[in-house]
Amino acid sequence: MNMGLLALDENLPSSIALRYASQLVEILALQLQAGHVEVPDKKRHSGGTGWVRRTWERGLLEAGHQAVQRLLNTEKVPCPFIGSPKVLIGDRDNAFLEELRNGGYDLFIEGNLNTSDITDFYRLISSPLYSKTPCPILVVKNLVASDSVALLCGDGVDHNTVIPRALSLLKGKSIHFDLIFYRYQETEATISINKEEAGSVLVEAEALLKEANITPANSMVVSGTPEGVAAMLKKYRLVASSFPVRKSPRLELLAQCPSPILLCQNKARN
């Protein structure tokens, strides 16, 4: 059973992520822990020690618990958590990183709305939390209910690492996998082209799935603009890829993709 940390704030992205995660636990071997970081207001930050500081911290923890509880009460989503929400204090990225490292989580889940500006997405994946995470991150942009998952290949994705990682999280009842090798085209309409365009990548990826007793529903090379292919990807419950490390067509594709995206490490991180 995998263990996921679901980041919850009192906002729309968290509301969507909560609903999505509640569906996910029904089809995957996944247990969830809710987490929230209460970021101290600098002006109100207690510089004191002892009783003064403990009282200040208790106040922050209480505020954090109330925020998460308000969200859960509003959403009324039957999402089974393994315990009461973990409320952390400090910088959001650092606090979640520490929790992910200490808690031995297999997955971090958070909501993030799709925007028209890809620099928003670049900023997100360049953040300390994303660049140093010890586990894959699932970015929930929209609520999608589908039986299909897309595994992206090519353009910097090390399929030998990413596919086994993704499968270890996603293998569940009634999930179908599509292998998609993305080829950038500036003006062409989105089309599926000859698989040989992917070289040996799709053959190797199919072999990795076969090792896990999975036959992909589709294995294809898709050519088009990032916007066009991203629109095509909206039929998937999620799209798995590696973390893009530079500005590239794949980064733009993932930024524009309306479906949730699962980002896995290309190589092991320490």
Partner 1 sequence: MRIITALDMHSYSATIVGEVAKLAANTWADITLLAVQPAGPDNKPDEALVKTLHQYRQDFISLFDANDLPYGGNADNQEFILKNGSWELTDHKPAVASRKNLLLKIRVGDPAKEILAEAREQESDLIVLGCTKGLDSQWKGEVDLPQKVAKKAACSVVVIKEKKVPTTITCCLDQTHVSQSSLEMINQIVTLYQAELKIVGLTDNKGTEGNAGVENSIAQILKYYAERQINAWIKLVRPEDLEEYVAEVSRENMVALWMGKKSLLGKIFSPNLVGKLVNHSQSSVLILR
**CA–CA separation, 129 and 221 (whole Å):** 32
Only one of the segments 20-28, 95-103, 140-148, 240-248 lies at the binding site for partner 1 (rule: CB under 8 A); that segment is 140-148
Only one of the segments 80-88, 114-122, 176-184, 193-201 lies at the binding site for partner 1 (rule: CB under 8 A); that segment is 114-122
Rounded least distance, CB 231 to partner 1, Å: 8
**CA–CA separation, 230 and 249 (whole Å):** 11
Told to check if 143 binds partner 1 by CB under 8 A, we report: yes
Residue-wise burial string across 127-137, b where 16 or more C-beta atoms lie within 10 A, e elsewhere: eebbeebbbbb
Told to check if 258 binds partner 1 by CB under 8 A, we report: yes
Only one of the segments 113-121, 163-171, 173-181, 262-270 lies at the binding site for partner 1 (rule: CB under 8 A); that segment is 113-121
Give the residue, chosen from 55, 66, 115, 192, that forms a contact with partner 1 under the rule CB under 8 A.
Answer: 115
Q: Please, which contacts does 95-100 make with residues 24 or more away whose CB atoms are closer than 8 Å?
A: 95/37, 96/5, 96/7, 96/35, 96/37, 96/129, 97/128, 97/129, 97/132, 97/133, 97/134, 99/5, 99/35, 100/5, 100/133, 100/134, 100/135
Token readout for 53 is: 């500081």
Residue type (1 letter), 252: E
Compare residues 27 and 143 and give the one whose CB is closer to partner 1: 143
Told to check if 126 binds partner 1 by CB under 8 A, we report: no
Q: Which of 237, 235, 231, 236 is nearest to 255 (CA)?
A: 231
Determine the straight-line distance between the first and last CA of the chain, rounded to whole angstroms: 22
Told to check if 122 binds partner 1 by CB under 8 A, we report: no
Told to check if 12 binds partner 1 by CB under 8 A, we report: yes
Told to check if 92 binds partner 1 by CB under 8 A, we report: no
Told to check if 119 binds partner 1 by CB under 8 A, we report: no
Told to check if 63 binds partner 1 by CB under 8 A, we report: no
**Binding to partner 1, residues 204-233 (CB under 8 A):** 227
Compare residues 115 and 126 and give the one whose CB is closer to partner 1: 115
- How many residues belong to the chain? 270
Positive/negative CA dihedral, 238, 242, 244, 250: negative
Rounded least distance, CB 143 to partner 1, Å: 6
Q: Is 21 helix (H, G, I), strand (E, B) or coil?
A: helix
Compare residues 158 and 227 and give the one whose CB is closer to partner 1: 227
Summarize as ranges the residues that interact with partner 1 (CB under 8 A). Answer: 11-13, 15-16, 113-117, 141-143, 145, 227, 234, 258
